[in-house]
Amino acid sequence: MSKYVLPVSVFGTVIGCAVLVKNHVTGGRCPSKAKLNGKTVIITGANTGIGKETARELAQRGGRIIMGCRDMEKCEAAAKEIRGNTLNPHVYACHLDLASMKSIREFAERIKEKEQRVDVLINNAGVMRCPAWKTEDGFDMQFGVNHLGHFLLTNLLLDRLKESAPSRVINLASLAHLVGKMDFEDLNWESRKFDTKQAYCQSKLANVLFTREMAKRLQGTGVTVNAVHPGVVSTELGRHTGLHQSQFSNTVLSPLFSLLVKNPELGAQPSIYLAVAEELEGVTGRYYDVLTEKEPAPQAMDEEAARRLWEISSKLVGLKEDQGQSSNSCHADLPALSQQTHGQNPGPVVGTVES
Ligand SMILES: NC(=O)c1ccc[n+]([C@@H]2O[C@H](COP(=O)([O-])OP(=O)(O)OC[C@H]3O[C@@H](n4cnc5c(N)ncnc54)[C@H](OP(=O)(O)O)[C@@H]3O)[C@@H](O)[C@H]2O)c1
């Protein structure tokens, strides 16, 4: 017998078992069957990965879904696919580039103009371990898109969220926040050597700090804010990492990795759970590891850091200057939603989710 037979069969058995049990050990499905009829849900970065599968299932549950994406071709294609799959015609593609404050303001203006309510906002879009790129406004790309962009978007949509209360904001954080550190002297990596891994971890720590501070500021408004780590999911998130950059990685390691981690449909279950679960009504300021509430890292519990991040973020995105003023950044030539948004008036709905 060849000396390779035993190790190869052990390796094969281990991989086979891992594939069979991975979906169970990595979380499972949202237990709630709640419907979303009459509810409007905004999902950022919904053209692929976790965001797209979240959009698909929430559309299946009857929600009016607005997919905010930077690439309209991909967004239109995903929206069309979801409308076809779910037979829900109210799935819309809308331009949103979180690396551009102008685009975020235009998107928010358009939502306020066209939508009577925003029941759920899922801040899902993310970029991981990209080179030392800057956003249009000069912020570090990972801090700018993952934190500042969503910080500005959420604040601009706050009036609609409050008017639609009880309503929910869900921030896609990550287990990576555990090793994140906030460098308040250099949030945008201008004076220290750029470390793309740490930049991602810092941005994900910022997601948790933002969640906790916003929940505190929104007490009594009926708007809840929670953060979630979706688990390890096979998506395009690793596109800037070594795993996607060599022939060997693409043809051998990537498919192997995909077999061992959750698919995007299961990866979307934590976001879906936070969006619809009846038992989470009124629950706010929490961190979920997949479907289970957990205490985040000690640095994410630092209230002074959360307050400081809020203050700095407000200044960086120019939020304070906006307060009490209506923005004039929405022009007549804004990109149109992929379908007409009128013709459907969901009317007032009692409760965040309907079962
Ligand atoms: N996958 C995981 O294992 C994992 C683990 C922990 C946390 N997360 C978090 O889960 C979220 C979703 O990630 P994913 O795994 O689904 O990744 P993904 O497949 O790469 O999807 C990310 C989405 O974000 C969009 N995006 C990136 N930059 C944007 C910008 N400037 N403006 C608007 N949209 C932008 C992407 O659009 P394009 O397609 O146009 O680039 C894409 O739609 C992220 O916040 C991520 O940090 C994921």
Tens of pLDDT along 93-118? 999 999 999 999 999 999 999 999 99
User: Is the pTM value of this prediction over 0.95?
Assistant: no
Q: Which residue has the higher pLDDT, 253 or 162?
A: 162
Backbone angles phi, psi at 294, to 5 degrees: -135, 160
Beta strands in 263-326 (DSSP E): 287-289, 292-294
Q: How far is the CA of 46 from the centre of ligand 1 (A)?
A: 8
> What pLDDT score does 20 carry?
62
Nearest to 195 by CA among 127, 132, 128, 126: 132
Q: How far is the CA of 241 from the centre of ligand 1 (A)?
A: 14
> What pLDDT score does 351 carry?
22
Ligand 1 contacts (CB < 6 A) are 44-45, 47-51, 69-71, 74, 96-99, 124-128, 145, 172, 174, 229-230, 232-233, 235-237
Q: How far is the CA of 130 from the centre of ligand 1 (A)?
A: 12
> What pLDDT score does 353 carry?
22
Beta strands in the chain (DSSP E): 40-44, 64-69, 91-95, 120-123, 167-172, 223-229, 287-289, 292-294
Helical pair 303-317 and 196-217, crossing angle rounded to 10 deg: 100
Nearest to 143 by CA among 226, 218, 210: 210
Residue having the nearest C-alpha atom to atom 20 of ligand 1: 237
Residue having the nearest C-alpha atom to atom 1 of ligand 1: 233
Work out which ligand 1 atom sits closest to the CA atom of 262.
3
For the chain, what is the radius of gyration of the CA atoms?
20
Residue 7 CA: distances (Å) to CA of 3, 11, 61: 8, 6, 47
- If one residue of 66, 95, 233, 287 were mutated to test the ligand 1 pocket, choosing by the most ligand atoms within 8 A of its CB, it would be 233
> What pLDDT score does 299 carry?
98
Listed in sequence order, the DSSP H helices in 186-284 are 196-217, 247-248, 254-260, 264-267, 269-276
Please give the structure tokens belonging to residue 132.
């030392």
d(CA 126, CA 147): 9
Residue 123 Rama label (left phi>0; alpha psi -120 to 50; beta): beta
CB contact at 8 A, 64 and 94: no
Which range is least confidently modeled, 104-108, 153-157, 323-327? 323-327
- If one residue of 237, 263, 271 were mutated to test the ligand 1 pocket, choosing by the most ligand atoms within 8 A of its CB, it would be 237
For residue 172, the cross-strand partners are: 228
Work out which ligand 1 atom sits closest to the CA atom of 239.
20
Q: How far is the CA of 126 from the centre of ligand 1 (A)?
A: 4
pLDDT tens digits for range 270-316: 999 999 999 999 999 999 999 999 999 999 999 999 999 999 999 99
For the cut 90, the answer to whether the pLDDT of residue 212 exceeds it is: yes
Nearest to 118 by CA among 167, 62, 67, 55: 167
- Work out the pLDDT band at 344, boundaries 50, 70, 90: very low
Residues labelled as active-site residues: 200
d(CA 2, CA 164): 68
d(CA 250, CA 350): 49
Q: How far is the CA of 4 from the centre of ligand 1 (A)?
A: 40
- If one residue of 42, 48, 106 were mutated to test the ligand 1 pocket, choosing by the most ligand atoms within 8 A of its CB, it would be 48
Q: How far is the CA of 97 from the centre of ligand 1 (A)?
A: 12
d(CA 43, CA 31): 21
> What pLDDT score does 203 carry?
98
CATH code for the part of the protein at 33-237+264-320: 3.40.50.720
pLDDT tens digits for range 251-269: 777 777 777 889 999 999 9
d(CA 52, CA 272): 12
- Strands 167-172 and 91-95, bridge-based pairing: unpaired
